[in-house]
Amino acid sequence: MQIDAVKNYLFSLQDSICEALAIEDGRAGFIVDEWEREAGGGGRSRVLSDGAVFEKAGVNFSHVHGDGLPASASAARPELAGRSFQAMGVSLVVHPRNPYVPTSHANVRLFVAEKPGEEPVWWFGGGYDLTPYYGNREDCRHWHRTAFEACEPFGQEVYPEFKQWCDDYFYLKHRREPRGVGGLFFDDLNRWDFDTSFAFMRAIGDSYLPAYLPIVQRRKAADYGDRERQFQLYRRGRYVEFNLVFDRGTLFGLQSDGRTEAILMSLPPLVRWEYDYRPVAGTPEAELTEYFLQSRDWLQPA
């Protein structure tokens, strides 16, 4: 295994994404917070706050290790419970200021579970997903087309499989609705050899900026008022609910005694809840759930 090569790639991915987002924002930069984990390992958090384009953007790198794999990481492989482990990855969330720019999330990661006298067990995970407040068909098709093109060299079955996995994973069961319009999600990935699996992880990581930045550039100057802002803050509540109730990355970070500030970096700076809110029929707010937050093939023309 080329663990050092994976770590070097993740460092460079964090650097390139932060540089591109800071340039796009044009006003705010990223603060850098390096931290150590008492139980082993550490990381480098980078956070942009109160920018011209991005209200908050966080891009985390972490590399942690320990004597026992947390339950959230071994849920799909109970036979690995109790093994020593190391986990490394980059995880990011971008919360734009303009309600017409979607929130985006991405992460890529490597887990290694080890036991004396046995070969290490490794797997990759990651993906990215898009959470609009005001849906746009052009943006959704671009996002999914970029994801499809990143997956295509690895087999025609890869995009539809990981697209469906994303739809299933980022689903709020208590709301009976998806978090957004999906993208890609994969975990426990070792179906190929290590080099091919690593290449796939790089393809996904490298395609995030081409998937997201054109959307930001098209929508960041759109006019909006208090109505759109209040709806954005309301819908951000769904993002918070998912991350605190269902997200495996959040659970892993907390169960592995990670750094709380870095784990909860994904939460938006402002959010609101309203009891039994129902959008008016025929409005863009109603269209979000009636059309965009439905499972569909975004590669096909509308």
**Lowest mean pLDDT across 90-94, 237-241, 298-302:** 298-302
All domains in the chain, ordered by first residue? 3-292 (3.40.1500.10)
Ligand-binding annotation for 91, yes or no, is yes
- Is 142 among the residues known to form the active site? no
Region 178-200: what's the mean pLDDT? Answer: 96
The residue annotated as part of the active site, out of 63, 65, 105, 142, is: 105
Per-residue pLDDT of 130-164, as tens digits, reads: 999 999 999 999 999 999 999 999 999 999 999 99
Kindly indicate the confidence band of residue 254, based on its pLDDT and cuts at 50, 70 and 90.
confident
Ligand-binding annotation for 174, yes or no, is yes
Helix locations, 65-121, DSSP H:
71-74
> What pLDDT score does 120 carry?
84
Judge whether residue 70 has pLDDT over 70: no
Ligand-binding annotation for 95, yes or no, is yes
Ligand-binding annotation for 108, yes or no, is yes
Ligand-binding annotation for 144, yes or no, is yes
Helix locations, the chain, DSSP H:
3-25, 71-74, 137-151, 158-169, 194-219, 226-245, 248-255, 260-263, 284-287
Region 268-294: what's the mean pLDDT? Answer: 95
